[in-house]
Amino acid sequence: MTPPDTGLASGDRLRAELVALLRGANAHVPPLASLQGVPPEAINVRAPGLPNTLWDLLYHLWFSQNDILLFCQNPDYSTPEWPEAYWPSAPGTPDDWALALSDFESDLEALIDFSKTGDLTAEFSHARGYTLLREILLAADHNSYHAGQVTDVRRSLGLWPPPDLA
């Protein structure tokens, strides 16, 4: 049986699917939407029985995604200290939250641009066996996992759904 004609060549189709995956379409909460509309007084509240605050999760999402982006862009990339660098060392302020959210969104758009235009299967010169496709899938998978944790924390704090999903 022949699949229906989508009007997209196979490479274009793959790129469109990667963009949808990064944005959070289909089977999971969009990471950006999960982080919208959090009241400033809630960013450092730890929900009963859950290990992370919303600030912990946003910082981790931002730092990890930024790390993946830097790895893709920089042949002289150096891995940050794990796990210390990937989690915040102190509670966040409302300004920290706003900056991290803005940077997370900007970095997400940069990965989306890469997924639309980059060579998805060429190995990075600085990392044998690693490709842009691998890194895009890694970022999408990681963001999806932690967007689920954000959802759990927000539900536990009575802050679900966010405005964009209401």
3 CB-contact burial (10 Å; exposed 0-12 / middle 13-18 / buried 19+): exposed
Could you tell me the two tokens for 111? 């990965």
Place of tokens 């920290």: 96
Place of tokens 């895009």: 136
Q: Measured between alpha carbons, how far is 26 from 20 in angstroms, rounded to an integer?
A: 8
User: pLDDT (tens digit, 9 = 90+) per residue, 12-68?
Assistant: 999 999 999 999 978 889 999 999 999 999 999 999 999 999 999 999 999 999 999
For residue 138, count other CB atoms closer than 10 A to its CB. 15
In a domain, 66, yes or no: yes
User: pLDDT (tens digit, 9 = 90+) per residue, 135-166?
Assistant: 999 999 999 999 999 999 999 999 999 988 88
Domain that includes residue 85, residue range: 51-165
Q: Is the peptide bond before 80 cis (omega within 30 degrees of 0)?
A: no
Number of compact structural domains in the chain: 1
Name the pTM for this structure: 0.93
In a domain, 13, yes or no: no
In a domain, 37, yes or no: no
In a domain, 6, yes or no: no
In a domain, 4, yes or no: no
In a domain, 35, yes or no: no
In a domain, 24, yes or no: no
In a domain, 141, yes or no: yes
